[in-house]
Every structure is written in C-alpha cells, then in structure tokens.
Amino acid sequence: MKNTHTPAPWDIFPKDDTLEIGNYGTNAPLVRLSATVPTNDLEGWANARLIASVFDLLSALEDARIALTFYKNWMAKHTEGRTDYPFGIQTEDKARAAIARARGGEA
C-alpha cells in the first residue's frame, strides 16, 4: 500500500509562539507539522512558507516536466531527429527524479 500525503492546500497557522502548518479543512484529516519559533523569527516563517507551498511547487514541476518532454519530442520530429534542446535532457531527468521522490516512488 502506497502512502499518500494530506491533500492541499496547507496553510500556516500561528498559535502563540508556534507555527503550525497543515490542512485543517473539513474534508481532510487533521494533520499538522509544528515548530516552536518566536513570532518574530523570519527564518521560521520562511521555512513555514516553503513547506506550505510544496503542493504548488510540485504541480508546477509536473507541468514543466510534461512541457520539456513535449518539446523534446517536438524537436525530434521537426529538426531532423535532433533531441538536444537548451535545457537538456538532464533537466527533464532531474524533474522526473524530484517528482518521484515527492510522490514516494521511483523515477
């Protein structure tokens, strides 16, 4: 059985001197990550924003990987079989690996 994450969106909920990050919606299980940080801790807030934005980042990366694959295939058909393109196959491979890691699978 494959583990799945709590669905998006996740938000930041300041509570006293704790930043709680999670989905508190009625259709999602109550999940939270918490970090005790002073309310004026800019690094703590930056980390919380990054964690809460991960679903948007993953979605954008999945779309970008599809676009890179499409472009590589287009290049192969329209440029006499060339598949070298400015961002290269390595970028597509990195995106594929990062998506797999986030999804808990293999690239």
Whether residues 48 and 59 fall in one domain = no
> How many angstroms from the chain centroid is the CA of residue 22?
15
At 44-85, the pLDDT tens digits run: 888 888 888 888 899 999 999 998 888 878 877 888 766 666
pTM of the model: 0.69
Nearest-angstrom CA–CA distance, 62 and 28: 23
At 87-105, the pLDDT tens digits run: 667 888 888 998 888 887 7
How many domains does the chain divide into?
2
Whether residues 71 and 92 fall in one domain = yes
At 21-40, the pLDDT tens digits run: 877 766 655 666 666 666 67
Instruction: State the DSSP code for 29.
Output: -
Sign of CA dihedral 94, 82, 85, 76: negative
Domain encompassing residue 96:
55-103
Nearest-angstrom CA–CA distance, 62 and 83: 20
Q: Do you know the residue count of the chain? A: 107
Whether residues 67 and 98 fall in one domain = yes
Nearest-angstrom CA–CA distance, 25 and 28: 5
Whether residues 15 and 39 fall in one domain = yes
Does 64 fall in a domain? yes
Does 90 fall in a domain? yes
Does 99 fall in a domain? yes
